[in-house]
Chains A and B, each alone.
Chain A
Amino acid sequence: MLIRTASDVTTRDLPSDITTKSAYLNRRQWMQQSMALGLLGGVGQAWANPSIVAPGKLPALASKHTDIDGAMAADVPTAYTYASTYNNFYEFGTDKADPMRSAHTLKTKPWTLEIEGLVKKPLRLGLEEVMKLGAMEERIYRMRCVEGWSMVIPWIGFSLSALIKHADPLGSAKFVEFVTLADPKTMPFVGSRILEWPYVEGLRMDEAMHPLTLLTFGMYGEILPNQNGAPLRLTVPWKYGFKNAKSLVKIRFTEKQPATAWNKAAAQEYGFYSNVNPNVDHPRWSQATERRIGEDGLFNKKRKTLMFNGYESQVASLYSGMDLSKNF
C-alpha cells in the first residue's frame, strides 16, 4: 500500500533508544524543581502546569538517537501545550491561536510531495515513501521567531540532505525552493492579501544540504499536529522561524534565488537569508534579546539572542566572507 494509514505509523518497530515519555517526564520534574527553587521565577507558579508531554491524541512516531553535531540542545524543552497553541501559520489566520483553532480542517491523507525543477527526473512521492528516505531521529532544536520569542522543540525527522540525494539534482541547481499547501477550501486565509499564496521559502543548496536542516514529520514523540505544519515541514534551527515552511507540497531545485513569501511582502524587513543575528535589528524592533516561551517569567529580563541561534560553530562557515548586515 502506497499511502499508509495512521495505525501503520503507530505499529512500526520501536527502536530501543527512542526518547521515551519517561524522559520527558524527567525533564518536567526538573522544571518543576527549578520552579520550586525559584530559578525560573516570574509571575506564574502556574507555569509548572503546562505539560511538556504530548497529550497522546496523535499517533506516536518512533525515532532514534542522533549523532549530528549540535542537534541536541541542552535547553529545557518548551511545554507541548505552548508549542502547539502558539503558532504562526498564516493560512489559518494571523492570531497565534488561530492555527490551533482552525487547522483541524487540514487534510493530511493522502499527501503527495512533488520534486521538480533542475533534477534528472521529477518525482511524485507519497508521504510514506518520503518517510522511508531517511532514518527518523529526534533533534532538540532552539526555535527563534523573528518576532522576538523562542521555544525549544524536540522534532522528529531526518536531514533534508537524504531527500536531496535521492532527488539527484543537476549540477546547475543552486537553490532549493519549498512550496507549501495553499488550499482555499481548508485554509481560510489563503486568498487574503497579507501574503502571496502559496507560502514559498528557500535555501541555498549548501544550507539545504547542512545536516542540521531537518525534514520534519513529528514532534514530542508524535506525528506533527496540523497547526505545526503536518504532515511534513522544514526546520532550519539557525534561521528565524518563518523560514521553516509548513505542510510542504513541492520541493523545486532552481538556479536563481527563490522569491520567498515574507521577502516579497516586506523586503526591507525580511531578507532571503534571515539567519538569527542579534547584531542586525528588524526595522521595528531589536533582535538582540528574546523571550523563551514558558520559561522566562514575565518580569525576567529577556535573554540574549545568540549568533546563528547558538549554532555558530556548526553553520558560520556557510557565510564566511559575506556581509551579514546586507545579506540579512
Chain B
Amino acid sequence: MNQNKKRLRRTMMFLNAQKPGLIKDAYIYQPDSIMFDLEDAVAENQKDAARYSLYHGLKTIDYRGCEKIVRINGLDTPYWREDVRCAVAGGCDGIRVPKTESASQIKLVEGEIVKAERAYEVEAGKVLIMAAVESARGVMKAMDVCEASERMFGIALSGGDYTRDLQTHITGTGVELMGARQQLIIAARAAKVQCFDTVYTDLDNMEGFRKEVETIHLMGFDGKSIVNPRQIRVVHDIFTPSPKDISFSEKVVREIDEKKEKGIGVFTVDGKMIDIAFYDGAKRILDMAKASGVY
C-alpha cells in the first residue's frame, strides 16, 4: 500500500494553479495539503496557461513536505486528460476528481494516471486519487466511489454544487449538508479511506468557521478544504490532539498492553472504565499527535 494514503490531511488549501504569486510559496502557511486548482478557478481560455505554470511549479518548487494534489477539470470536459498528464509529469502526489458519481469515473482517471506514470517514469502507484462528491447521485454512490481503486485515499464533499443539486443553498447552519456529511463519513469509514469536508467561504466570519470545524471534527471527518491561509490555524488547533488527550491516550495504550498480559479485560484509567475497545481510538490519537508534530 502507498504509505501516503493515510497521511495527515487536516487542511487542503485550494489555490489557483495559474497564479505564480500563489503557487510560488504556498508551503509557508504549512497546510497539510495544497490543492492546485485547474478547474473552477481557471477561466476556459486559460486552461493551458494554468497547466503550464502548474507543471513548472511542481517541477521547480520545493513544497517542503506539503502534499501536492491537483484538482483536474471534470470528465465531461476536453481538458481533464491533459490535466492528468501534466500533473503526473510534474510530480504531483494526488489527483482530485471533481463531480464524481460513479466508480467507473475513478477507473477512467486511474487509467490516465497509469499511462502518465509510465510515460514520465514516475514510480508506479505513486499518484493517489481522491474523489469530490458534488451531487445527490454522488452522495448515493459514495461507497462505490471509495472502493473504486487501490489508489483512492479519500472522498470530499463539495457543498456548493451539492446544495444546488439538492435545490437548496449554503445557509451557514449546516442543516442542508447534514445528510451528505453523514453519508460520506460512513461510506469513507466503511471503505477505510479518509473523508474531507467542504470549504467555508465567509472569511469574515471566523467564529462561524470555527464552529463548523468543531462540528465536522466531532462527526469524524479527517480534515477540511480551505480557501484562505487564515483558516489553517483554526483547523489545526481543533484537529490536533490536546496535551490532555495525548496523556490519557498514552495511559490507555500502556495499560491495555500491560493488562492484556495479565489477563485483565476491564479496568480504570483516571477514573474512567477502559477495555480493549478503546485501544484503536487511543492509538489513533497518538498517531495523529505524532503526525501533527506535537508528540
Question: Are these two chains actual partners, yes or no?
Answer: no
Query: Which A residues lie at the B interface, using CB under 8 A?
Result: none
